[in-house]
Every structure is written in C-alpha cells, then in structure tokens.
Amino acid sequence: MNPTLCFRTAAVLLTLGGALTASAAPLPAPARAEVDALLTRLQTSGCEFNRNGSWYAGAEAKAHLLKKLDYLEGKDMVSSAEQFIERGATASSTSGKAYLVRCAGQAPVESAAWLKAQLQQVRAGRAASAPR
C-alpha cells in the first residue's frame, strides 16, 4: 500500500476520532448540580434501591448511577436531570427491568417516579432560597 495514502488515512481517522471525543460533553453545571442533589438524597434517604432483583443501600445505588451518568456523558446522551432519570436511572440497561426504590414502611415505587418527585423538591427548595 502507498505510504502517503496510509499516512493520510491515519490522519483522517485521528481527526475524526478527536472530533468525536471533543463532542462528548459533560452535563451543564445546573443540571449536574441537580443530578448530584438527587443522588445525594438517594444515598442519605435510608431508602433501598432495587436493581435486577437485588436490594442495595443508597451509597451503592449512588455509585452505580454515577457510572451510568459517566457513560451517558461520554456518549453525549444527557443534558438535563430529566434525561439522566429517563436514560440512566429508570431501568437496567442489561435486563430492561425497572429500578425500584423502597423506603421504610412504604411499598416500593419505580425509581423514575421517586427521582422525579425528589427533583421537584430540589427545584422548589432552590426557588424558595433564590434572592428576590
């Protein structure tokens, strides 16, 4: 094969690879703050998180969901807290089973509903503390 052609092909591939890497963006700061608040609430709630039939403490749930967030950010698939909930915190990407949250004395609920309710509380708290 022609060495010049090999060099040009390699240069094009490196350029494309760099462009693809550069396009992956982290969550915007306000959305990241909301996701962090949601995951901290899950971690400190005393509630358990069900993934693929097993219950986990909040700290383990937070660690798992942070890995999913990292993956989604790397693929540029998330730009809001709602998208994180829908694309990463609703169901197992392996089995397709819905994640559940179980808090003391209450029936388990789907994680999407629990997280969306928490997001409303986070936003309400932020709005209440905003300067007027």
Residue 18 belongs to a domain: no
Residue 5 belongs to a domain: no
Owning domain of residue 41? 26-129
In this prediction, residue 13 has a pLDDT band, given cuts at 50, 70 and 90, of very low
Question: How many structural domains is the chain composed of?
Answer: 1
Residue 74 belongs to a domain: yes
List Cα–Cα distances, 69 to 5, 14, 62, 130, in angstroms.
40, 26, 10, 27
Q: How many C-beta atoms lie closer than 10 Å to residue 24's C-beta?
A: 12
Residue 15 belongs to a domain: no
Tokens of 95: 């089995």
pLDDT tens-digit readout, 75-123: 999 999 999 999 999 999 999 999 999 999 999 999 999 999 999 999 9
Question: CB neighbours of 55 closer than 8 A, spacing ≥ 6?
Answer: 48, 49, 102
Residue 85 belongs to a domain: yes
Residue 32 belongs to a domain: yes
CA–CA gap between residue 56 and residue 53 (Å, rounded): 10
pLDDT tens-digit readout, 45-56: 999 999 999 999
